[in-house]
Chains A and B, each alone.
With several copies, the nearest count.
Chain A
């Protein structure tokens, strides 16, 4: 897949709770094909303390509108700067990067938490375009920390698990009744403990399962080897060989 570098215009910005916002970015050119689970490297303007681009998953794509949406959690200086951009501003993106999810299975489960929800919306949509309604299981400490909820309902059946019980079942995603049902493919993106717990479950039960990892990056294109993760076959680049890895290659990681 050819990678591009282009300026996008911020056409919309919406806060989702205190910690999250969604940027909708429009290209002047038609968008290339984008796979669910791929990401962009965004240049952070104006902030003198930010040197490198920041990797952000592609949350949704509208080919007609030529827009890409990003769901971003404010965690530091770069994401804070992005949260303050006015509509009309230009943002430079390198995209689409990484491998993306495989969209296998007839009965897939998508599990997400926090900013990890980001790539799952476009993934759910792609499944539904194939005629498959995935089960979507979203978790977080409280309802507030699940930034996107209803949007998933168009594409699949959605369940929630919150540690304080403020939305859906009380507890972790792995304790949710829907988690125990039978699936032939699991996709996870969320906090590392959540991903490892789900990965272990999938490995134990022989379910095909993909995780999307988030290491810090410099180049985003597989050139610098800064973003590696240890797989069962040695170091692999999260930006190029990932961000999506099949857990069958990540057994050591899942057990650690």
Chain B
């Protein structure tokens, strides 16, 4: 049995897709049956349309990549009026990643998503390293993190997941602060701030100089943070960062994550999510485990 619960959210399995790496799901519909997923977390959505950062936005790194997309998206109104209707009827949890530059923007966006019947949860992204204002700023300071979560909590009445940045001295302090401020769950990690240099051109690869590191390279840091946070908070933890196989997902689950997200690995293999789901079931079968919840947090 692969079912897990994140607050009021029932997932048919603990495998979600990570925001910004899976579009709105539609991009992968040719490769997999989206209804098999535990959930889809769509691209970061902001109060209004955003063009994002200039190209180049991507650099390949050892077992990973840097991105500097900068929250390009059509804005919440376009999501509500158009994208929502195309994906709302999927038989999986469609969750909106809510991003912004100010508390007002977070709240406005969250309020609009709150009205969408078939969106059971939002993931509040207080951790994007690729925007100048707000973004990661909120996620690196417990007081600011608590403030934005507290305000959003007042107007958002379904499952509120808060996504944390790893670029901090103590992720536990931030996690506890957002738990106290009313988060129903935390997801971690967002990307790590990194940089790559094109030594032939003698300049940074990315237009923004620094960007967000993701992929298998960050997995050990992500597992460590999930383990630390899961021990420190009572709300369920969603783990991500570098997951590319069922074994990777199991590392997070055993470290204390109730569910996981898959991001960058979708680029390498657009069917990876299904392989991970099947691999988890295989593991349970092989080890004679009835319920995946038995191994969650076993460490």
Which residues of A are at the interface with B, using a C-beta cutoff of 8 A? 2-5, 43, 48-53, 94, 215-230, 234-235, 240
Query: Given A51-B61, A215-B55, are A222 and B27 neighbors across the interface (CB < 8 Å)?
Result: yes
Q: How many chain B residues touch the partner (CB < 8 A)?
A: 33
The reply to whether A230 and B54 form a contact with Cβ atoms under 8 Å apart is yes
Binding site for A on B (CB under 8 A): 20-23, 27-28, 30-31, 43, 51-52, 54-58, 60-65, 67, 69, 72, 215, 264, 266-271
B51 A234 Cβ-Cβ under 8 A: yes
- A234 to B58 alpha-carbon distance, docked (Å): 18
**A218-B65, A228-B72, A230-B54 given; 12 more Cβ-contact pairs under 8 Å:** A5-B270, A51-B63, A51-B65, A53-B267, A94-B270, A215-B55, A216-B56, A216-B60, A219-B266, A221-B23, A223-B23, A227-B55
A223 lies within 8 A of B62 (CB): no
Given the known interface contacts A228-B52, A234-B51, the answer about A221 and B28 at a Cβ–Cβ threshold of 8 Å is: yes
Query: Which residues does chain A contribute within 8 Å of B52, judged by CB atoms?
Result: 225, 228, 235
Among residues of B, the one whose C-beta sits closest to the C-beta of A226 is B58
Closest 7 interchain pairs by CB?
A: A223-B23, A226-B58, A3-B30, A223-B27, A219-B267, A221-B27, A218-B267
| CB-based contact A226/B64 at 8 Å | no
| Distance between B37 CB and nearest chain A CB, rounded to angstroms | 14
B58 pairs with A217, CB closer than 8 A? yes
Interchain CA distance A216-B62 in the complex, whole Å: 16
Report chain B residues within 8 Å CB of A94.
270
CB neighbours (8 Å) of A226 from chain B are 57-58, 67, 69
Say which residue of B30, B31, B69, B271 sits within 8 Å of A224 (CB atoms): B69
Chain A residues positioned under 8 Å from B23 (CB to CB): 221-224
Q: Are B62 and A218 closer than 8 Å at their CB atoms? A: no
What B residues does A234 contact at CB under 8 A? 51
Query: Which residues on the B side are within 8 Å of A216 (C-beta)?
Result: 56, 58, 60
Nearest CB on B from A144, distance (A): 22
**B27 near A225: Cβ-Cβ < 8 Å:** no
Q: Are A51 and B64 in contact (CB under 8 A)?
A: yes
A51 and B58: CB pair below 8 A?
no
Listed by A's residue number, 27 A-B pairs whose Cβ atoms lie within 8 Å are A2-B30, A3-B31, A51-B61, A52-B60, A52-B267, A52-B268, A53-B268, A216-B60, A218-B65, A218-B67, A218-B267, A220-B267, A222-B23, A223-B21, A223-B23, A223-B267, A224-B20, A224-B58, A225-B52, A226-B57, A226-B58, A227-B57, A228-B55, A230-B55, A234-B51, A235-B55, A240-B27
| Candidate in A2, A53, A218, A229 with the most chain B CB atoms within 10 angstroms | A218
Nearest residue, chain A, Cβ from B73:
A225
Question: What residues of chain A lie closer than 8 Å to B27, measured between beta carbons?
Answer: 219, 221-223, 240
Interface core residue of A43, A52, A223 (most chain B CB under 10 Å):
A223
Most A Cβ at <10 Å: residue of B61, B69, B269, B270: B270
Residues of B within 8 A of A220 (CB): 267
B22 / chain A contacts, CB cutoff of 8 Å: 223
**Chain B residues positioned under 8 Å from A222 (CB to CB):** 23, 27
Q: Which residues of A contact B56 (CB under 8 A)?
A: 215-216
Q: Closest CB of chain B to A127's CB: distance in Å?
A: 28
Asked if A51 and B60 sit within 8 Å, CB to CB, the answer is: yes
User: What residues on B are CB-neighbors of A225 within 8 Å?
Assistant: 20, 43, 52, 57, 69, 72
Q: Which residues does chain B contribute within 8 Å of A227, judged by CB atoms?
A: 55, 57-58
A240 to B30 Cα, complex, angstroms: 14
Could you tell me the distance between the alpha carbons of A225 and B267 in the complex, rounded to whole angstroms? 12
Asked whether B30 lies within 8 Å of A52 as measured between CB atoms, the reply is: no
Q: In the assembled complex, which residues on chain B have CB atoms less than 8 Å from the CB atom of A221?
A: 23, 27-28, 270
Rounded to whole Å, the gap between the CB of B212 and the closest CB of chain A is 11
Bound Cα distance from A4 to B58, whole angstroms: 24
Which single residue of chain A is at the shortest CB-CB distance from B49? A234
List of B residues within 8 angstroms of A5 by Cβ: 31, 269-271
Closest to A229 in B: B55
A43 to chain B, nearest CB (A): 7
Instruction: Please measure, in the bound complex, the distance between the C-alpha atom of A235 and the C-alpha atom of B68, giving whole angstroms.
Output: 14
Among B27, B264, B267, the most chain A Cβ lie within 10 Å of the Cβ of B267
Q: Which residues from A are CB-within-8-Å of B54? A: 230
Report B-chain residues with C-beta under 8 Å of the C-beta of A228. Answer: 52, 55, 57, 72
Chain B contacts for A2, CB-based, 8 A = 30
Return the chain A residue nearest B269 by Cβ: A5
Q: Name the residue on A nearest B20 (C-beta).
A: A224
> From residue B40, how far is it (CB to closest CB) to chain A in Å?
11
